[in-house]
Structure 1
């Protein structure tokens, strides 16, 4: 027999109630940038190392973007959007 849970039966992992605090603008921007970087890389099917090499990006930068430690500037965001949409064309243009 499966056990059913509801919100009142779960342990209180957040006694301070901080889980419901909205993100700051900076946290939100970092999350969106991380998602864009991951989506661009996933569109290629490449590892972080291979992605960085193929698109002439520093590996540490790719990692920082994906982990939300750094925000890509406007030009980098545009580059990631183009890679996400047409990864093979971008790679061909760089060779």
Structure 2
């Protein structure tokens, strides 16, 4: 394919296929790629991925963590950088959601 053909086609991205990709598809593909536990270069999982993997709404996960809904939304949308403590909490929530629930309930 020539550069002109790529430009006319909107790039090499199949936009219809991309739009049809569900959260479940993304998680399945991440697992197939071996990146399900360490989403970003082995550092920590991203907030939206953790929430989706747990099948929770933004409100439910914010309540679980004891934070305002707006705070969780800011994390998911990248408006606020995550400090190391939050990264660690996300990793615990990602790998051991029941441990997090027990700790918060105690």
Q: With the length of structure 1 as denominator, give the TM-score of the two structures.
A: 0.63
Unaligned segments of structure 1, at least 5 residues: 1-5, 13-31
Matches within 5 A, 1:14-93: 36-93=46-103
Quick one: structure 1 residues 11 and 40, their matched pair in 2 at CA, closer, same or farther if it must change by over 3 Å?
closer
Structure 1 segments (4+ residues) deviating >3 Å: none
How many residue pairs match? The answer is: 69
Quick one: structure 1 residues 10 and 59, their matched pair in 2 at CA, closer, same or farther if it must change by over 3 Å?
same
Match of 2:9 in 1: 10
- Structure showing greater Rg: 1
Deviation at 1:89, TM superposition (A): 1.6
- Normalized per residue, which structure has more helix? 2
Unaligned segments of structure 2, at least 5 residues: 12-39
Quick one: structure 1 residues 50 and 11, their matched pair in 2 at CA, closer, same or farther if it must change by over 3 Å?
closer
RMSD: 2.0
- How far, CA to CA, are the matches of 1:39 and 1:8 in structure 2? 32
> Does the residue aligned with 1:78 lie in a helix, a strand or coil?
helix
More RCO (CA 8 Å, sep 6+): 1
